[in-house]
């Protein structure tokens, strides 16, 4: 296998927190939102945890008393708008075969994170000048997981060393030499092209399968006799996109169903569009839909896949789950231009059950069963192995229906997400106000007991996201329905502007789960909640879109999604110059790569590096 040394970019500190349209395949960990000093529980264990290398350490006691730490620290930060990094401290004992296995094995938060073997892995290191030089190697476990990128992919399987040119189970790995000091340094492992050596289990020096987990980082001293303490700060770990990966619009604006895109285009924006499809459960039905007219115009497509609508149900009776999963697979296979799918809608509500309240309730167990069948079916289709398949949103504010085994909406939501676990790719929710007062968007008013911890208005999205497991908070979130809880009043009263401002503010905190899109419910004149033709309401939306509210926190000009605007981004724009289409090089998202995009790279050059 050929060798490709990962790029090391040594750049200055981040000088501006700007935004971009390129997207990382997934951002795994930036260590924000955790308490300062938390040790050995966020992604990486403390250095002494692995019995493989604890014998090479001079100290294996408590972090508070010596160099044995993998703790959240406020001393350094590389994440845009962030304040933390992981501080790792250890000391070797002079053994000539010394190395450190800094493992992710079953840590409390983000243990065994799933990565793609077909993409690049990027992480940033800050090494103080007092730390001796070392080699860095990536240890990956071949779990053949179906987990989402970044989620827990399991702890069983062979372990290979990636990026090492020397090493064996009895000799330390010699990987990328890290010599830059007192600045943030990016280390990139190009997994398809790096040298691979076997380490543990039935490893064979070949990366088997499409995915596995980041099992450990291996630190090997350049001079084993140098027993000074090692201090390394780690931040911003992400899987980088391939050239062929989908690129989505950078803004948070959206609509439930198409038709109003003209208003966004008039403001120089492209939006998220939620499509809803009734598929039935005929396993021989091969029809699909072409969404490319929308994606080719720069819009993002999210497709909700239903069995039908009331009274037939958003999902079929459980006896037809297998047929429905096959129909879903057929539809996806024969559709074009979409890669984000939602299975069903508001399954805690009787109105969405097959047969309604007198039919079959969609309990949490039933939903989890059909979701897994559909996700497996979609991801088994060639070309859709990396599609995002998302669980249904719950019917917000719904009470429990104990006679049917249905808990209240927050408990149903939490139980559903927890039961599905790592095999889901995004978080979908609905949030509303009770009335058209624009101040309801920011209202702190709670519901009446026993729900007095639940926001009465739009900030119920915070209640919902607070029930997402910490191990899933790196996943993209979408609010695919929002309105005033009553028909739109055809007034430009600022409700829509406030809603988008609220989400923009939320997204500025890197400790919060990022909300990628907010879809107003709904555009077409299908029910009383339509927007079409209500020009004052449309004007409120247009004025909201005059703000540059984006879901990314990285620098403008970052075409390859690694968080740093550098010569690779500049070359990418230059090579694509003159091309048409909404690609990662179209930085202003206007459908053509031209001078404006080149200027964005030049003006932002060095940001995030």
Query: In angstroms, rounded to a whole number, what is the distance separating the alpha carbons of residues 537 and 532?
Result: 9
Asked whether residue 369 is assigned to any structural domain, the reply reads: yes
The predicted structure's pLDDT at residue 79: 82
Say how far apart CA 378 and CA 382 lie, in whole Å: 9
Segment 171-186 shows an average pLDDT of 97
The DSSP symbol for 540 reads H
The pLDDT value recorded for residue 461 is 98
The first and second tokens of residue 259, run together, are 């038709």
CA distances from 130 to 40, 218, 226 (A): 23, 19, 11
* Final residue of a structural domain among 240, 270, 304: 240
| Average pLDDT for 267-295 | 98
Task: State whether 376 and 417 are in the same domain.
Answer: yes
Whole-number average pLDDT of the chain: 93
**Which residue is it, tokens 């690779």?**
568
Residue 13 in any domain: the answer is no
Say what the pLDDT of residue 7 is.
28
pLDDT for 499-534, tens place per residue? 999 999 999 999 999 999 999 999 999 999 999 999
Do 480 and 376 share a structural domain? yes
The residue ranges of DSSP E strands in 344-476, in sequence order, are 388-391, 427-430
Residue after which a domain boundary falls, among 492, 513, 544: 544
Neighbouring CB atoms inside 10 A of 210's CB total 14
Domain end marker among 544, 578, 600 = 544
- Taking CA atoms, 431 is separated from 28, 465, 480, in Å, by 26, 11, 9
**Could you tell me what percent of the chain has a pLDDT over 90?**
90
Query: How many structural domains are present in the chain?
Result: 3
Question: Any idea what the CATH number is for the domain that residue 604 is in?
Answer: 1.10.1330.10
Same domain, 387 and 501: yes
Which residue range forms the structural domain that includes residue 388? 253-544
pLDDT of residue 6: 31
Is residue 158 pLDDT above 90, yes or no?
yes
Residue scoring higher pLDDT (384 or 5): 384
pLDDT in tens, 449-462: 989 999 999 999 99
Mean pLDDT of 122-150: 97
- Domain CATH for 451: 3.20.20.80
Confidence of residue 563 (pLDDT cuts 50, 70, 90): confident
Question: What span, in angstroms and rounded, lies between the C-alpha atoms of 300 and 479?
Answer: 14
Q: How confident is the model at residue 29 (pLDDT cuts 50, 70, 90)?
A: very high
pLDDT tens digits for range 566-592: 999 999 999 999 999 999 999 999 999
The rounded distance, in Å, linking the Cα atoms of 62 and 39 is 10
- pLDDT at residue 2 greater than cutoff 80: no
Q: What is the per-residue pLDDT across 328-382, written as a single tens digit (0 to 9) for each?
A: 999 999 999 999 999 999 999 999 999 999 999 999 999 999 999 999 999 999 9
CATH, residue 106: 2.60.120.260
pLDDT for position 13: 28
pLDDT at 19 over 50: no
């Amino acid at each position: 296998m050929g060798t490709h040394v990962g790029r090391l970019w040594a750049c200055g500190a981040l000088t501006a927190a700007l935004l971009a349209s390129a997207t990382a395949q997934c951002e795994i960990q930036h260590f924000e939102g955790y308490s300062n000093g938390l040790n050995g529980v966020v992604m990486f264990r403390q250095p002494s945890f692995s019995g493989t290398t604890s014998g090479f350490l001079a100290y294996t006691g408590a972090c508070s008393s010596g160099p044995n730490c993998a703790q959240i620290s406020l001393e350094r930060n590389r994440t845009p708008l962030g304040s933390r990094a992981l501080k790792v401290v250890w000391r070797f004992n002079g053994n000539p075969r010394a190395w450190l296995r800094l493992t992710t094995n079953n840590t409390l938060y983000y243990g065994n994170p799933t990565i793609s073997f077909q993409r690049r892995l990027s992480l940033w290191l800050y090494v103080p000048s007092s730390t001796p030089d070392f080699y860095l190697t990536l240890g990956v476990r071949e779990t053949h997981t179906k987990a989402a990128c970044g989620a827990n992919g399991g702890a069983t399987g062979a372990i290979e060393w990636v990026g090492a040119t020397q090493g064996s189970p009895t000799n330390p790995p010699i990987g990328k030499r890290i010599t830059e000091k007192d600045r943030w340094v990016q280390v990139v492992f190009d997994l398809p092209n790096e040298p691979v050596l076997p380490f543990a289990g039935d490893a064979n020096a070949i990366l088997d399968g499409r995915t596995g987990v980041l099992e450990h980082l291996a630190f090997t001293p350049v001079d084993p006799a140098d027993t000074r303490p090692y201090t390394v700060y780690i931040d911003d770990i992400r899987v980088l996109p391939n050239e062929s990966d989908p690129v989505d619009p950078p803004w948070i604006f959206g609509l439930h169903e198409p038709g109003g895109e003209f208003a966004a285009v008039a403001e120089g924006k492209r939006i998220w569009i939620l499509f809803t499809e009734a598929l039935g459960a005929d396993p021989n039905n091969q029809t699909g839909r072409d969404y490319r007219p929308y994606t080719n115009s720069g819009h993002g497509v999210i497709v909700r896949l239903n069995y039908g609508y009331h009274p037939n149900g958003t999902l079929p009776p459980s006896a037809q789950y297998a047929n429905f999963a096959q129909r879903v697979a057929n539809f996806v296979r024969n559709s074009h231009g979409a890669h984000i799918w939602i299975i069903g809608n508001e399954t805690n509500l009787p109105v969405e059950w097959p047969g309604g309240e007198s039919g079959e309730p969609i309990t949490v167990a039933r939903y989890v069963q059909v979701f897994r069948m559909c996700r497996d079916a979609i991801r088994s289709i060639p070309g859709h192995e990396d599609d995002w398949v998302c669980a249904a949103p719950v019917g917000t504010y719904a009470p429990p229906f104990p006679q049917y085994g249905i808990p209240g909406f927050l408990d149903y939501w939490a139980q559903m997400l927890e039961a599905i676990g790592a095999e889901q790719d995004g978080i979908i929710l609905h949030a509303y106000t009770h009335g058209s007062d624009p101040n309801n968007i920011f209202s702190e008013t709670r519901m009446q007991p026993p729900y007095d911890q639940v926001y009465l208005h739009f900030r119920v999205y915070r209640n919902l996201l607070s029930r997402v497991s910490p191990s899933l908070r790196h996943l993209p979130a979408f609010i695919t329905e929002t309105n005033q809880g009553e028909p739109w009043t055809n007034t430009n009263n600022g409700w829509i502007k406030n809603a988008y401002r609220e989400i923009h503010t939320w997204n500025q905190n890197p400790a919060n789960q990022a909300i990628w899109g907010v879809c107003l419910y709904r555009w077409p004149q299908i029910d009383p909640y339509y927007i079409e033709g209500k020009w004052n309401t449309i004007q409120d939306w247009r004025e909201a879109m005059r703000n540059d509210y984006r879901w990314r926190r990285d620098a403008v000009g970052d075409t390859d999604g690694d968080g740093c605007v550098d010569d690779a981004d500049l070359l990418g724009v230059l090579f694509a110059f003159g091309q048409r289409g909404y690609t990662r090089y179209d930085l202003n998202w206007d459908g053509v790569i031209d001078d404006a995009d080149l200027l964005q790279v030049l003006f932002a050059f060095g940001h995030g590096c």
